[in-house]
Structure formats: structure tokens, C-alpha cells
Amino acid sequence: MDDATTVRLDARALKVLAHPLRSRLLSALRLEGPATATALARALSTNTGATSYHLRRLAEAGLVEDTGAGSGRERWWRAAHERHSFFPTDVQDSPTPRRR
């Protein structure tokens, strides 16, 4: 695993990424490159408010980052890594109860 391009997810990051729109946002940024919430919302047929919210959650988990480009309220986002991975042992002690 190349540490510069791959991040190993912990239980918190996996929980953040489990949301379908967040997964789609991260995939779009990895495949298409940096974009604004408005452009991503248009591409993924969702609204800008939800897109912005989920981008911030991904950023809190270290999966995306603000590029620093843009002006005013326009923020450009990019994927923080090219790919991610995890092992079951990374999350086996997670306090989240398992569903039966």
C-alpha cells in the first residue's frame, strides 16, 4: 500500500463513508478531479445544500479537502487520497453495535 496515495480507514471514517451520497461524492472527486459543491450537485442530481453538508463531513474524516481555490462562498474540493482501504480488524472493537 502506497501511503502517499492510500488512506487506511478507521471505524469513524467508515461510518462517514457509509452514506451513499458521500461515497458518490468521493468517487466523483477521485475520478473527475476537483469541483465545487454546485458542480457536484448538478453532476449527481442532488441539491447544493446536501452536497455541501456531506462534503464537510467527508473533510472532517480526512477524505476530502478544500483546495483553497475559489472566491467568496465558492469552495473547490478534492479527494485527499487516491484510494482507501481497511481491514476487519481495524473496526472490530468499534463501539457501534452490530445489527442482527
**Is the model's pLDDT at 4 over the cut of 70?**
no
User: Confidence class of residue 44 from pLDDT cuts 50, 70 and 90?
Assistant: very high
**Residue 37, pLDDT score:** 96
**Residue 70, pLDDT score:** 79
**Is the model's pLDDT at 63 over the cut of 50?**
yes
DSSP per-residue letters across the chain = --TTTEEE--HHHHHHHTSHHHHHHHHHHHHH--EEHHHHHHHHTS-HHHHHHHHHHHHHTTSEEE-S--STT--EEEESSSEEE--HHHHTT-SSPPP-
**Is the model's pLDDT at 78 over the cut of 60?**
yes
User: Hey, how many other C-beta atoms are within 10 angstroms of the C-beta on 1?
Assistant: 8
Nearby residues of 86 by Cβ (< 8 Å), 6 or more positions away? 8, 9, 10, 14
Mean pLDDT over each residue of the chain, to the nearest integer:
84
Identify the CATH assignment for 6-88 out of 3.30.980.10, 1.10.579.10, 1.10.10.10, 1.10.1050.10. 1.10.10.10
